[in-house]
Amino acid sequence: DKKVALITIDTYRIAAVEQLKTYTDIIGLPLEVVFKPQDIATAIDRFFSYDIILIDTAGRSPHNEDQMTELVNFIEAANPDETCLVLSATTRTSDLQDALSRFGTLNIDKIIFTKLDETTCYGPILNVIARTKKRISYVTNGQNVPDDIELPDSLRLARLVVGDDLLA
């Protein structure tokens, strides 16, 4: 078992911290809230003995330069081992490609796809994988945390994209 801690910089949405605190209480993770990039190193140091430190960021528009600059400042200050971009499976391919291009300055390592349960069109996921060569680290398939967070399964994703009949 790995010791996991969570840091959030999502202090923008109303009740975002409270919602995350509820989740961390349920699953038994410590949570640290950081307001400024220069404070993130201190928060990371507090979790020195932990195996994994997850850093939750606010959802940001890739078209808002101020938000993107702030996000870059936080990520640079954190100096993470890995950076994952969370994308919705319900988003059109062109918008996914645009987001990946604009978030490219963050040196994205992997992608997390959410809302697989809210779409019947899975081709955009395949398009993103093919064009970016980025691996999918997790997918979500519902609202139940942590039960609906899943490791990606290649065969399952292939079945979603092309249908069961073609893979029988």
Delineate the domains of the chain, giving CATH numbers in brackets: 1-81 (3.40.50.300), 84-168 (3.40.50.300)
Cα–Cα distance list, 155 to 101, 126, 166, 167 (Å): 27, 12, 12, 9
Asked whether residue 164 carries a pLDDT value surpassing 80, the answer given is no
What is the distance between the alpha carbons of residues 137 and 150, in angstroms, rounded to a whole number? 9
How sure is the predictor about 109, in pLDDT bands with cuts at 50, 70 and 90?
A: very high
| Dist. CA 31–CA 81, nearest whole Å | 19
What is the pLDDT averaged over residues 80-109? Answer: 92
Confidence grade of residue 72 (pLDDT, cut at 50, 70, 90): very high
In angstroms, the Cα distances linking 38 to 41, 53, 162 are 7, 17, 47
